[in-house]
């Protein structure tokens, strides 16, 4: 399968965008190591063009939600967590316990945290909106500076 790849500069560093012909597969802060380089084409397509446009609008404060076709690969549990992340509104945060409750298993905070950390579509699927129960900015694949920027941008902190 052909994977289209582009890089994009964000206010907090480079992001790496990956898509198939029809779906956005990943928005990552580091290159996708698991992707076989022979499958990657360093060119754009309409999905990546739309992604770059929508991310640029978001960074400029002109967009609060995204409308992109996603195709994230993970376990059923991970997909449930990622879908539930999409319910956290712009400008709000949930803690891991709230996210676990939202998926119907209030005792799954750790599993929810692990799934949150494996979200392949950063920013678009807003895993940055999940914080510690004490309000702390917990780990983030893009680093805490990126998470802090995103939450300040959304007016949370």
Catalytic residue among 15, 27, 68, 127: 127
Helix (H), strand (E) at residue 80: helix 76-85
Residue with tokens 């400029």: 60
CB 85 within 8 A of CB 72: no
Cα–Cα distance for residue pair 59/89, rounded to 1 Å: 16
Q: Which of 45, 53, 43, 108 is nearest to 81 (CA)?
A: 108
Cα–Cα distance for residue pair 13/150, rounded to 1 Å: 12
Residue 41, classed as helix, strand or coil, is strand
Q: 116 to each of 25, 70, 74, 106, 111, how far by Cα in Å?
A: 16, 16, 11, 15, 8
Tokens of residue 106, six digits: 């209030």
User: Is 127 assigned a catalytic role?
Assistant: yes
- The catalytic residues are 127
């Amino acid at each position: 399968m052909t994977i289209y790849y582009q890089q994009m500069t964000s206010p907090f560093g480079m992001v790496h965008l990956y898509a198939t012909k029809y779906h956005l597969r990943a928005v990552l802060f580091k290159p996708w190591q698991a992707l076989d380089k022979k499958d990657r084409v360093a060119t754009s397509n309409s999905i990546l063009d739309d992604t770059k446009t929508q991310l640029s609008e978001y960074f400029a404060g002109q967009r609060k939600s995204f409308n992109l076709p996603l195709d994230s690969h993970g376990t059923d549990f991970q997909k449930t967590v990622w879908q539930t992340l999409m319910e956290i509104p712009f400008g709000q945060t949930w803690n891991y316990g709230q996210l676990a409750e939202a998926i119907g298993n209030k005792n799954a905070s750790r599993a929810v945290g692990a799934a949150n950390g494996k979200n392949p579509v950063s920013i678009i699927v807003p895993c940055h909106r999940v914080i510690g129960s004490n309000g702390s900015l917990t780990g983030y694949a893009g680093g805490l500076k990126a998470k802090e920027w995103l939450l300040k941008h959304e007016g949370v902190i």
